[in-house]
Structures are given as structure tokens and as C-alpha cells.
Amino acid sequence: MEVPRPAKAGNVKVFSAVAQLVTTLPRALSAKIAVDAALDSCHHMQHLHDAITKKIGTKHAKVGMCYLERYMLFILFMLYVEAQKSLPRPFVQGFESWLFTHRCRDTFFFLLDHMKLEMVTFLTDEVLALQDNITSQAIIENFSSDACFKKLSQRLTAEIMMRDTEDGEKLANGIRIAVAKSVLPQNVEVEPCTKVSVSGRTADEVADEIIKTLGDAPSKGCVLTLQGLSGTGKGTTVAKLKEKVPKTQTWSNGNIFRSITLLAVTAAEQRGCDFAEVLTPEALDSFVKMLQFGKFNGKFDVKIEGLGLQYFVYEVEKTVLKDSKVAKNIPTIAEVTQGEVVTFVQGALDQLASDGVNVILEGRQQTLDHIRTPHRFELVLEDPVVIGMRQAALQMGAKAYDKVKGSDADEFVIRNALEAAMADL
């Protein structure tokens, strides 16, 4: 019989062995739905699913494993029943014989022999469509034991950490230049930084720990710095903090670097000289002085005024500041103006906090060490490979979603799309 598929929730937990079974074998999902319907109909005696769940993490885990094996065999038996019904002479072959002669026999017994008493997020089309930390975590849960996924994660971890090291060295060099120009002090006393573990935790849990540590500071307005390696979830954590803490906004140094670059490019054009000739300490200092942070037209913004230019950053951040002549020169400006930008930003952050605004500044330690605030946090992972796993899951999820969106794909199709994406990476 065809069992109608129930409406799906966005974030459904299933036993990991069952998830592997239904995403590996065609029609196994229909068999699971039929078994679940049968279990629901006799729940007044004992619901097998609940009996297994209650054994997780207890001294009765072995009993739970026996129940889980029974649940898996029920699903396989339903597959057997459906297969037999399509035959001219059904049920001539018994279930045990069918199980031992099936083309997927090795898969059956591998799953039965290696199953664990754990639950994972079911990879439904709704979970894939979220394209957020829930999607990534679901992919990690379902692929963490896959050899190809492990290899991909290790490679991405190495690439990310190398990139972080290179970026850190560039920032450190920029800070050294600022110190040499006496724009920044050589020695700074950095306030204590609270390390927040993100291993095995949701973005909500991480954000809640930070909020608890902040105490009543957000009620008055404060500056919060957030650092950590790429892939530790800084962006997701920032988004959660903005959801949970009133009057919170993020600060990006990007537009300040773009504004200085615009002024430097304009100066070079007006003087008819090479771009490098306008990068003297005196010229860079004059460009920064052409920037003013404050309240304009009832809201905080950066005003650019000088060299015949007059703009508000909010009005030109997606136009003038994105011009190609600005974009191609940003790396050069960023290297030689780290100190000037840090000094400018500190003044802006103090103004915002004094007005009761909570400001989150996310970035690299090399720069953040020069921002003064008692509210400092660093996201950490005990196992660096998790960074690569998150990146692998992020890329796999995006590729798979592009392939299946709009098609009402089931879990089997989604699994295949994810495996194809993993192979491409």
C-alpha cells in the first residue's frame, strides 16, 4: 500500500542508523512512515520509538540498542512486504531469505552492526532550504562518519587555518606600520577575553552564554568584541545576539577603509600623480580627518567631506564606495591605515555606547586588541577539524540546494545531491 507522507517539520530528529537507512535505500522512507504509523496505533501499550529514546545516555543503553535493532528490522520487514506484493507469487520467499539475498544485504548488516544510540537531524527539503547553522549541523550529523567527508573536512581545515595565518600576518604588519608612525602605542594592556566554546552547541546557546556574561551592560549601551578562527560561527553568533539584545548593531571597518580609499584615489586624480604618492603619513592623516562620525538627520553615520567630495556613507555604500577604482586599491589602503582606522573607530564606538547602543565589533585579534572595552569574547573549538566540517557542510548544502530547490525532493534525493556535491568539492 502507498502510505501518504505526513507534513514535515523543519527540524526533525531521528535515530542516526534509521537516517542512514532511509537516505541510502529507495522506498525505505515510505517503509519507515508505515512502521511509525503502526507504532502510533498501539502506543497505549508501549511506543517503541519512545522506549528507545528514553534509554539514550542511561545505564539501560544496551536495552535501547536491542529496541533500535528491532525498529530497524521492522522497517526492513516493511520493505520486504512491499517488494513481495508486486510479485506474481508473493511471500514464497521468506523474510530472512530475502534479507540475506537482497542486493543491499551488505548495507543492511553494516548499519545493524555499526548503529549507535544517537539522534540526528533528518535531512528534509525544509532543513536544506534553511541554509543556516541548522542545515550545516544536520549535514555534519549525517556525514560525520563518512570517509570522504572526513577527508574533505581535513583539507578545508588546513586551507582555512593557512588563510587565517596569512591574514593575521598582514594585519600584524599593518599594526607594526601604525606603531612605527606613532599612530598606535607599541604596548597595550588588553582586557581579559572570555573564551566561549562552540563545540556541540547551537548558536542560541553560544549567544545566551555571552549575554549572561555581559550582565546588565546592554541596558546602558556597551561595546562587545568577538574574535575567533574562521568557521567558528562568529557571523551566526552576531546574528543571534542582534535578535536577542535590544538596540544592538554591528560595526564594520570595511566602509571606513573604502572611504579613505575613495579620498586617496580622488587626491591622486586631482594631483595627476601615481596612487602610491598620496600614501604618505601626512596625506593619510589628512584623509582620516575628512571623515566625521556622528548623528546626521537623526541617525548615526559617517560623513565624508573634503577634496570637493561630500557624502554620507549610508547613502553611497552600495554605489560610490563600490566603484572599481575604490575596490582595487582597498588592500593597499588597509595595510597602511590600520592604526588610523582603529583610532577613528574607537571614537565612533564610544559615541554609540554613550547613546545607549550596543555595538558588536567582530574581527581579528590583532586589530581588536587595540579597541578598549571590558566586554571581549573569543569563540573556540576544541577540535580544529570541526572548522573544516562546518565549511564542508556549508558548501555541500549550498550546492545540493541549488540542485533540488523547487522539486519537493525527498530525503533519498537530498542525500544523493549532497553526496554529489561532496564529490565535486
Dist. CA 132–CA 236, nearest whole Å: 8
> 122 and 23 in contact (C-beta within 8 Å)?
no
Question: Around 2, how many Cα atoms within 13 Å sit in the side-chain half-sphere?
Answer: 2
- Phi, psi at residue 303, to the nearest 5°? -100, 130
- In this predicted structure, what is the pLDDT of residue 8? 41
Compute mean pLDDT per 10 residues along the chain, 425 residues long, and list them: 39 75 75 84 79 86 89 90 88 90 83 81 81 83 86 92 86 89 90 92 91 95 92 89 94 90 96 94 93 92 95 92 91 90 93 94 90 95 86 92 84 85 92
- In this predicted structure, what is the pLDDT of residue 6? 39
- In this predicted structure, what is the pLDDT of residue 12? 67
- In this predicted structure, what is the pLDDT of residue 354? 93
The 10s digit of each residue's pLDDT in 246-290 is: 999 998 888 999 999 999 999 999 999 999 999 999 999 999 999
- Phi, psi at residue 295, to the nearest 5°? -90, 120
For the entire predicted model, the pTM comes to: 0.67
Dist. CA 109–CA 113, nearest whole Å: 6
> 172 and 353 in contact (C-beta within 8 Å)?
no
> 197 and 233 in contact (C-beta within 8 Å)?
no
Dist. CA 63–CA 52, nearest whole Å: 8
- In this predicted structure, what is the pLDDT of residue 49? 81
- In this predicted structure, what is the pLDDT of residue 99? 87
- The Cβ of residue 62 has, within 10 Å, a number of other Cβ atoms equal to 11
- Phi, psi at residue 253, to the nearest 5°? -75, -15
User: Closest Cα to residue 288, out of 340, 348, 347, 349?
Assistant: 340
Give the dihedral sign, CA 69/73/76/78: negative
- Phi, psi at residue 375, to the nearest 5°? -105, 85
Task: Region of 228 please: left (phi>0), alpha (psi -120 to 50) or beta.
Answer: left
